[in-house]
Every structure is written in structure tokens, then in C-alpha cells.
Amino acid sequence: MRRPAPLAALALLLVASAARADNPQFQGADPHALYIGDELWVFPTGGPGGSWEADRFGAFSSRDLKTWQPRGELIRRDQIPWIGDDGAKDHFLWAPGVATRDGKWYLYYSVGPQNPTPSRIGVAVADRPEGPYRDSGKPLVTGDAGNEPGGFEAIDPMVFADARSGRTYLYAGGSAGATLRVWELADDMVTIRRQVAVKQPPLFTEGAFMHERNGTYYLSYSHGKWNGPDYSVHYATARSPLGPWRYRGAILTSDARHQGPGHHSFVRAPSGEWLIVYHRWEQGPAPAPLKGERQVAIDRVAYARDGRILPIAMTDGAIATP
């Protein structure tokens, strides 16, 4: 999930058609993707139009995975009333996650940095996926102070509604402590019902994502340094959204033309085909820190007969609508 230092003002609302007609799709990071009708919506950190200040979120949608329509401003930093309560000098917004229930839309987001005060996760509510979102009035989750081993950095929220149990879970955790935590959400989606103890998956760093296919639950996540060539996507499987996890290995790693792929989401297209939406650096092998801006890319996902996710090859060029 980690981020570069804040840059110039984000131009989210100034882009009429923001993407190239191939991979990479557009500038941005930490993309949470979902289909709304026949459109793929992406909720990233930053986005098309140039540099960003990490002070707001926007959304972008596409029917053909070529041309992206900006969906406006979801929420700004100055619309979060509790953001300055910790007394820290600076606050930035990263890594949004979106969920819907009973006609309402919920935007979960990271507020950091972790030091000198703990990072926090907030949640805001809207009547439409494009907002405007109204903050719930208080942090949903607060991290542990400091960067001590085993600590918890409250970043990278992901909400998963389990159709089998009817329960909704919040997954979060990041590189300070590299600790995954899981909570069950109350029906209002803005209250924690209980924390659930889970074992730590091997090589977990941050950016957890959960999806289910044919009764198997796939916990995928980023491993490595956010701006290094070792950043990659790994996964584990279980018969429950809470584990116990069976580690299955890496599925998305750096190659000769792209570095540091990660902080992804899986999404099922209306055709039934699965896609992975993620960010990467468009460059050959290089040591950390990688330079430039991260780019959002989309690639197809294939599963073996036994349910394993096959290694994903990063592509360039046109992505036809599934």
C-alpha cells in the first residue's frame, strides 16, 4: 500500500477520458475494483490526470477496459471531522475499499502515516457508488503505536460479504508489523461486532483481498517492500473466510518489463471470467526504491482444475472486454 511523498494537486475531475487503450490502464495505485452492472469501477489511491496530494479519493469506470470515465470526487480529507484528533502534523488518505449493502455504499479508507501516531481506518456512507460519501464520524479501527515487531498498522481495508454465512468481514493490516487482522462488521457496516483471531498467512505484508470461488476462499495479499522489485502477490486458500490458511505461493511477480506488482483486487466479470486489477511500475529490473508513478493494470486470471490460481503473466496491449 505504501506511497510516495505527496505531490502536486490531484486533477481527478479534469480528465474526460483518462486511460490509454492498453495496459497499463492509468496512473494510480491500490486499486479496489468491482463490476456495477456492465461497467468495471476502480477505486484507487490517486488516479488519472497527473500527480496527487493523497487528500481525496475518486472513482473511474469503463465498459471496454480501454476508455475510463471519471466518476467524480468521493470524499476529501477536510471532510473527515476526526482526522486531526490525534494531533499529528500531517495526514494522508490511501488504499480505499468499497462495499455495498441494502442500497447503501460504504467507502473504507486508510488515514496515515503510522508514525508519530497510529494509523487509522475510516468509513463513509453514500447513496450511490460515486458518492458523495459522508464520514461516519469516528475511526472504525486504530492501529498500534510505533513500529515494534508484531504491531499492527491500520491500513488497507477490504470488506468481504460471505454469502454462505451471511457475515461480513473487514480485513486490514500493513507493513508496520506486517500483521493481518480480521473483524466481523455489524449490520450497519460502520460498527465492529467483534474481532476474529486468525493465524498469520506466510509472507504477508499488506493489501489483503478475499474472494470465493466454488466453495474455496482465496486470501491474497502483497509481500515485500511497496516500492521495491520484491513487491508481489501471494495467496492462501481455506474452506472458510477465516482460515486456517494453506499457503499456495506467489502468483504475480516482477518480470523483465514491469516491477513491483501488487495491492490488487480480484473481480468477476459479467461473462464469468475472473480478472486481477493491480498496480505496477513500468520499468525493467532495478533496486528499491523504484522511481516514477505506479500504474494500474488489468490481467486475466486462470484456475487449475484443482482450484489453484495459475501464475499470472503481466501483459501490455489491449484488454478486450471479458
Q: What are the residues facing 23 on neighbouring strands?
A: 317
Cis, bond preceding 287 (omega within 30 deg of 0): no
Q: What is the rounded distance in angstroms from the CA atom of residue 145 to the CA atom of residue 142?
A: 9
- C-beta separation of 170 from 113 below 8 A: no
Q: What is the rounded distance in angstroms from the CA atom of residue 289 to the CA atom of residue 292?
A: 10
- The closest of 236, 254, 253 to 245, measured between CA atoms, is 236
Q: What is the DSSP string of 163-184?
A: TTT--EEEEE--TTTT--EEEE
Bridge-based pairing state of the strands 274-281 and 259-268: antiparallel
Q: What is the rounded distance in angstroms from the CA atom of residue 246 to the CA atom of residue 284?
A: 32
Phi-psi region of 54 (alpha: psi -120 to 50; beta: other; left: phi over 0): left
Q: Which residues of the chain have pLDDT under 70?
A: 1-21, 49-52, 146-150, 320-321
H/E run at residue 252:
strand 246-252
Q: Walk across the sheet containing 69-76 and list its strands.
A: 29-36, 39-45, 56-62, 69-76
pLDDT of residue 48: 73
pLDDT of residue 11: 35
Rounded to the nearest 10 degrees, how much is the dihedral formed by the CA atoms of 37, 38, 43, 46?
-150
pLDDT of residue 50: 52
- C-beta separation of 262 from 226 below 8 A: yes
What number of helices (H) and strands (E) belong to the chain? 0, 21
CB atoms within 10 A of CB 146: 13
CATH T-level fold of 12-300: Tachylectin-2; Chain A (2.115.10)
pLDDT of residue 151: 81
CB atoms within 10 A of CB 231: 29
pLDDT of residue 318: 76
C-alpha pair distances (Å), 249 with each of 21, 117, 182, 202, 252: 32, 34, 21, 9, 10
C-alpha pair distances (Å), 254 with each of 225, 233, 234, 283, 310: 12, 10, 13, 10, 16
Q: Angle CA(29)–CA(34)–CA(36) in degrees, nearest 5? A: 135
Q: What is the rounded distance in angstroms from the CA atom of residue 185 to the CA atom of residue 187?
A: 7
pLDDT of residue 20: 42
Amino acid, res. 70: P
pLDDT of residue 17: 37
List, in order, residues 6 or more apart from 164 with CB less than 8 Å away: none
pLDDT of residue 294: 95
Q: What is the rounded distance in angstroms from the CA atom of residue 136 to the CA atom of residue 140?
A: 9
Q: Angle CA(42)–CA(48)–CA(51) in degrees, nearest 5? A: 125
